[in-house]
Amino acid sequence: MKKRKLGNDNLEVSAIGLGCMGMSHGYGPAADKKDMVNLIHKAVDMGITFFDTAEVYGPFINEELVGEALFPLRDKVIIATKFGIYTDAGGQQAQDSRPETIKRSVEGSLKRLKTDHIDLYYQHRVDINVPIEEVAGTVKELIREGKVKYFGLSEPGIKTIRRAHAVQPVTAVQSEYSLWWRKPEEELIPTLEELGIGLVPFSPLGRGYLTGKMDENTKLDKSDFRNILPRFTVEARKANHAIVDLLVEIAGRKKATPAQIALAWLLSKKPWIVPIPGTTKLSRLEENIGAINIELSPEELKEIDDASLKIEIEGNRYPEALEKRSGL
C-alpha cells in the first residue's frame, strides 16, 4: 500500500482510507456488526491504515464498531473522528461546538473507540454560534493533554481555515470532492496548498453514483438519506448519466472500473489528497484499493478534466437547509 502525508505535521496514512459511516448510518439499515468488524480487519490486512468515523454516525454506534474492530490493531492505524453535530430530541441534527461540549465529546469518543487518543479530530461542521478561535483553542488544549494528536475541519470556508490555523495548525480538511463536485478546486485546494494542509475527500464516488452501478431505476431503502438529496431524484440520476458514461469510456481503455478511474483522478490531483470511499462489501473494498495502481497520463487527465467540466450536473448536492452548514 502506498502512503501519503497529510499536512505539514507529516501525518502519514494509506493513500486511500476507509469511510466507515455507511456501515452503520445513512445508507439504509446498519450492516451486521460482525461482518463489518471482519471487513475492517480485511482493510488493515490489505494495507489501509486510515479510518474515518464520527460521534453522530448512528449516533455513536459507528464509533463503537470502529473501536471494537481496531482495538487489537490500534498501533497500526490512524483513527479520525468528529465532534460538533448531535441528534436532538426530535431526531434532527443540530450543531454545538462550545468548548465544554467538545470536552465532553472527546471523552465519549475515546471510550467508544477504546483508545487513549484520537489521531485526527475534526470539527464536523462550522458552528456559527462559536468563534472558530475558541474551537481551535479547545482542540489545542486536548492536544496538549495527549487526548488528540491532530486537528481537522470538515467543510469549512477559506476564512475559517485561516482563523483556525492561526490558533492551532490544521492538519487536514475534509470536504466533498469528486468528478461531480469540483468546487473545492476554486479556492479550497489553493488555500490548503499555501498553508500546507492535507485534503481528505469524502464521497469521492458521488455517494455511489460514480461507480456506474446506479441509475434512475435503482431503488433506495426508505431510510437511505440519499432520498432527500436533489442530486438523487429519479430525474437527476437519469440526467447525470453523462458523467458515468465518461468514466465508463476511460475505464474501458484502462482495463479498470469507473470507480477506480474516479479515485485515480482524485489521487492524481495532489500528493496530499487522501480519499476515503466507504463500502460494506469486500469486493468493493478490493476494487477501491486497486485504484492506487492506476496511472493516468497528463493527456488522460486533461481529457477527463475537460470533458467533465462540460457536463452540467443536475441537482444540488444537499437540500438548501443542509447546504447552509457547509462553508464551501
Q: What are phi and psi of 185, to 5 degrees?
A: -70, -20
- Give residue 92's pLDDT band: very low, low, confident or very high (50, 70, 90): confident
Q: What pLDDT is recorded for position 91? A: 83
**DSSP line for 283-301:** HHHHHHHHGGGPPPPHHHH
User: What percent of the chain is modeled with pLDDT above 70?
Assistant: 99
pLDDT at position 207:
97
* Contact assessment for residue 143 and residue 151, using Cβ atoms and an 8 Å cutoff: yes
**DSSP labels for 121-167?**
EEESS--TTS-HHHHHHHHHHHHHHTSEEEEEEES--HHHHHHHHHH
Q: Show the DSSP H helices in 146-228 as ranges.
A: 158-167, 188-195
Give residue 275's pLDDT.
98
CB 153 within 8 A of CB 174: yes
Active site residues: 57
Per-residue pLDDT tens over the stretch 198-255: 999 999 999 999 999 999 999 999 999 999 999 999 999 999 999 999 999 999 999 9
Question: What is the C-alpha to C-alpha distance for residues 75 and 295, in angstroms, rounded to an integer?
Answer: 31
Angle at 283 between CA 282 and CA 289, to 5 degrees: 90
Residue 161 exposure: Cα atoms within 13 Å on the Cβ side: 29
Q: pLDDT at position 328, please?
A: 64
Would you say residue 9 has pLDDT above 80?
yes
Stronger pLDDT, 297 or 322, i.e. the higher one: 297
- pLDDT above 80 (res 325): no
Task: Please name each of the domains of the chain with its CATH number.
Answer: 3-323 (3.20.20.100)
Give the residue among 198, 274, 262 at the shortest CA–CA distance from 3.
274
| Three-state DSSP state, 202 | strand
Distance of CA 65 to the CA centre of its chain: 17
The percent of residues above 90 in pLDDT, for the chain, comes to 94
Q: Are 105 and 55 in contact (CB under 8 A)?
A: yes
Write out the three cell numbers for 220: 433506495
pLDDT score at 243: 97
pTM: 0.97
pLDDT tens per residue across span 100-152: 999 999 999 999 999 999 999 999 999 999 999 999 999 999 999 999 999 99
Taken in order 283, 286, 289, 294, the sign of the CA dihedral is negative
Confidence check: pLDDT of 171 > 80: yes
pLDDT band (50, 70, 90) for residue 321: confident
Crossing angle of helices 99-112 and 61-70, rounded to 10°: 50
Summary mean pLDDT of the chain: 96
Tell me the per-residue pLDDT of 265-282, one tens digit each, with 9 for 90 and over.
999 999 999 999 999 999
